[in-house]
Structure 1
Amino acid sequence: MRTVIVGAGEVGTSIARSLAPAHDVVVIDVDADRAEQLKYELDVMTLSGDGTSLSVLRAADVASTDLFIASTDDDRTNLVAAETAKTLADPFTIARTKSVEYLRTWELTRAAFGVDFMVCSDLLSAENVVRVVGLPSAVDVDPFAEGLVQMAEFEIDAHSPVAGQTVAEADRFESLTFAGLFRGDELFLPRGDTTIEAGDRAVVIGSPGSVQAFASDVAPESTPGDADEIVIIGGSQIGYQTARLLEERSLSPRLIEQDHDRARELAEMLPNTVVMEHDATDTEFLAREHVDEADIVVAALDSDERNLLVSVLAKRLGTDRVVAIVDNGEYVTLFEEIGIDVAINPRQVTAEEITRFTHSGIAENIAVLEGDQAEVLELKLTDASELVDRPISEVASGLEADVVFGAITRGGTLITPRGDTELCAGDHIVVFVETAFVEKLTAMA
């Protein structure tokens, strides 16, 4: 598949890195130095120029392109680039936008702006926050198989009852599979006798009920579903969308916004949210409002630096769990290293969603883990698949790849995979696989 990507920032680079091994990729960026760097870094063709320019798109041979992705940081640039590409040919166009208003306009016809598929960074980020809120001890949560299956990643701290247990001891749930463990920079597939250590990040796949039950084992003091007291700091679009989605779940969060006009606007749009007009860096105010007693604090200001400050303040006050929006991907590790529980990077969330969509037809769904070290894929097996009519033990031994079968759905029913489980055409399989082996696995499905 020939793909043209406009924008070589974090989003465009991540998408190009994912697609480059198996596709013909061209990346366009206004920064000539960045374009040149990417050419050698990812071994893709690059062009320096304006992605909305007809001449630049002609030079990129958009006329013979299958997929066109506009992923710059500017919404209007992305929309104009997609529209311009449509004047040259009829590639499938994907546009990234921050504005939910553009998304709502596009949803009216699914064809506005010359865009075939639109990805809204702010809404996706808010949805990620809400999923984490729904499973308080997790650092990442993704649904698969139309909600029948859930993947969750948990950081095991020194006080967790699970720390020091073997996988066999910790896995006491019928419909749960331990898929992988991240320890430092190392990824390995756990066995029954593998000891779970403090600091590990454990990835589990199973029914939502079993994942929630395991979450209770990881952190008994943070029972899933008990996160009723939620404070959102910042009335940004992500902050607003988070509050709106929480209201849809019959929750009543509190939201702190310093700007008078914005606070008034939010109060009118969010009938079940208590909007407080104040500076969230005022520690006396935070203490007076008992922010330390909140189950979760969400830092959703428009500045990474301010989000870092209010996150640290919330932690120092005694808040159990802090989720922070981190716009610069390079800061994610910094937030995590100083003790912020979950750092959500809108650019990475967006890149993951676009990558998932580009795999449609190959993968039904995808989650990228730990800086692209591993992926969780949902694959639908066809009659022609090399995997069907074979037991999982035979398939796994023949793959010569680091892969774990996490769950199977068959006819809308969840099946917990075992070594003697035979795969059938029509099955949806959810697998944990090291990124290097993704192409090999998907080719067999």
Structure 2
Amino acid sequence: MRVIIIGAGEVGYHVAKTLCRNNDIFIIEKDEEICNRARELDVQVIKGNGADVKLLKSADIDKAELIVAVTGVDEVNIVACMASKLLNNKVKTVARVSNPDYIDRPVSVRETVGMSAMICPELSLASEIHHILSIPEAINVEHFVGGKIKMMEFKVSDHNPLIGKKLSESNLPECCLMAAIFRGSELMIPHGDDIILNNDRVVLVGKPEAVEDTRRLFDEHRKNSGKIAVVGGGEVGYYLVKLLSERNLKLTLIEMNKRRSEEIAQTLPNVLVLNGDGTDVVFMKEENIGSMDAVVAVTDSDEKNLLCSLLAKRLGAKKVIARADRPDYAELFEIVGVDVAISPIQATVNEVLKFTMGIGIESLVTIEGEKGRIIELTAKQGSKIINKKLKDVHFPRGAIISAIVRGGEVIIPDGSHIILPEDKVVIFTLPSALTAVEELFS
């Protein structure tokens, strides 16, 4: 596809880095230093304002198939998408928007004002962390097909009853499939003879009640007090605490800025708001942060988030979650002891990827950085995979069909099952197998 990306900061750079392997990418950025960084990629860079109609025309907007506006200014992104749509009414447009006056959910469709999708990375990150905190044993939780399919990722710790067992002996509930195993830096799509080891991370997909039933296998028998601390009262921290406040939890928010602390305390009276530094050892001890079920560090500094998370872990917090604005930091955070590290940028990348694939993807989630992807799509009449038994389909080795939803029925498929037109299909795939999956469903 011909894609124009407006803004080459951290979000734009990583979108371009992901797309440039298989697409024709143009970047418009007004900062010379940021332009120079973008030129390291296999892209064409134009220096200037992405909301400038003349500049859009010089980038051949009439030939573009997708516009991704991800500058740090909401209004520039919105105007750039609206202008692009006026110049080329067939182009798809994605705008990054953070102001709650413009958006109240992680992703919103506003075709009437020229945007195929508006995405709020901060809301997406808060929502993802909220899902993880809802299942104490899990390190990742996602929903597909309107909640009919649930995915959970767990870490296999000491004394887990699955350790040393073959997958075929694991006695997982019906309507539940182990879609992947992460072992160190290796990702495996498991088979019946594969043995589960200590420290593996396993991805389970299936009916919500069946996947929920597996939680007992990963329960470390630690009594939860319902105490959660969030460090950082910016957009992410505020959104997250607001979501969590709807549940019966004992919430603490730590924010360095005194005025911001007072604003949040007035808005959320049921939350204990503390004005302090989450990296201050004395302060964290005084506030008994080590007694928390979870500590979530979501300041706008990756370094502070890392230090705060490791300090909380050292003091005794059961689970620590850290925001990592740079996606390549997330894996490093987890290597040094953070339980879960999440980048808000990935949500934007995932949303853009949906528009670059020609098989009508309705949902796309990346697992463990970008090592694996779970996609939800609808099987179309005429595609190569329909009306055949799965055992007769040359499905790529790096992918597995995790679930089929037909009407209200959820099917965990085996080789005898057939995909029919309009079935909702959930697939776990390695990035290397994605093209082969596209070919089967195109």
TM-score, normalised via structure 1 length: 0.89
For residue 287 of structure 2, what is the amino acid of its counterpart? E
Distance change in 2, residues 1:191/1:366 (3 Å): same
Measured in 2, the distance between the counterparts of 1:50 and 1:340 equals: 39
Measured in 2, the distance between the counterparts of 1:16 and 1:362 equals: 21
Aligned residues: percent identity?
34
Deviates more, 1:144-153 or 1:163-172: 163-172
Alignment of 1:64-143 (within 5 A): 64-90=63-89, 91-104=91-104, 110=110, 114-143=114-143
Question: What is the aligned length?
Answer: 437
1:208: Cα distance to partner? 2.0
| Preserved contact between residue 105 and residue 112 of structure 1 (Cα < 8 Å) | no
1:117: Cα distance to partner? 1.9
Name the SS for the 1:168 alignment partner.
helix
Matched, 1:270 2:273: no
Structure 2 match to 1:214: 214
Measured in 2, the distance between the counterparts of 1:303 and 1:159 equals: 36
Deviations 1:175-208 (CA, angstroms, capped at 9, x unpaired): 1111112223322221112112223222221122
Distance change in 2, residues 1:281/1:93 (3 Å): same
Matched, 1:424 2:427: no
| Preserved contact between residue 28 and residue 35 of structure 1 (Cα < 8 Å) | no
Q: Please, which runs of 5 or more residues in structure 1 have no aligned partner? A: none
Query: Which of residues 308, 311, 332 in structure 1 aligns to 2:309?
Result: 311
Deviations 1:349-373 (CA, angstroms, capped at 9, x unpaired): 2222332355485212111223323
Deviations 1:377-396 (CA, angstroms, capped at 9, x unpaired): 1121122222222222222x
Name the SS for the 2:366 alignment partner.
strand
Measured in 2, the distance between the counterparts of 1:19 and 1:150 equals: 28
Measured in 2, the distance between the counterparts of 1:23 and 1:66 equals: 11
- The structure in which a higher percent of residues are helix is 1
Name the SS for the 1:248 alignment partner.
coil
Name the SS for the 1:388 alignment partner.
coil
| Preserved contact between residue 179 and residue 404 of structure 1 (Cα < 8 Å) | yes
TM-score, normalised via structure 2 length: 0.89
Structure 1 match to 2:278: 280
Distance change in 2, residues 1:107/1:409 (3 Å): closer
Measured in 1, the distance between the counterparts of 2:175 and 2:284 equals: 42
1:156: Cα distance to partner? 2.6
Distance change in 2, residues 1:385/1:6 (3 Å): same
1:324: Cα distance to partner? 0.9
Name the SS for the 2:300 alignment partner.
coil
Name the SS for the 2:4 alignment partner.
strand
Alignment of 1:228-377 (within 5 A): 228-359=226-357, 362-377=360-375
1:93: Cα distance to partner? 1.8
Deviations 1:131-172 (CA, angstroms, capped at 9, x unpaired): 110122322221111111112222333454433332223342
Report the RMSD for the aligned CA atoms in angstroms: 2.7
| Preserved contact between residue 148 and residue 208 of structure 1 (Cα < 8 Å) | yes
Matched, 1:408 2:404: yes
Measured in 2, the distance between the counterparts of 1:218 and 1:106 equals: 29
Distance change in 2, residues 1:275/1:375 (3 Å): same
| Preserved contact between residue 216 and residue 222 of structure 1 (Cα < 8 Å) | no
| Preserved contact between residue 134 and residue 227 of structure 1 (Cα < 8 Å) | no
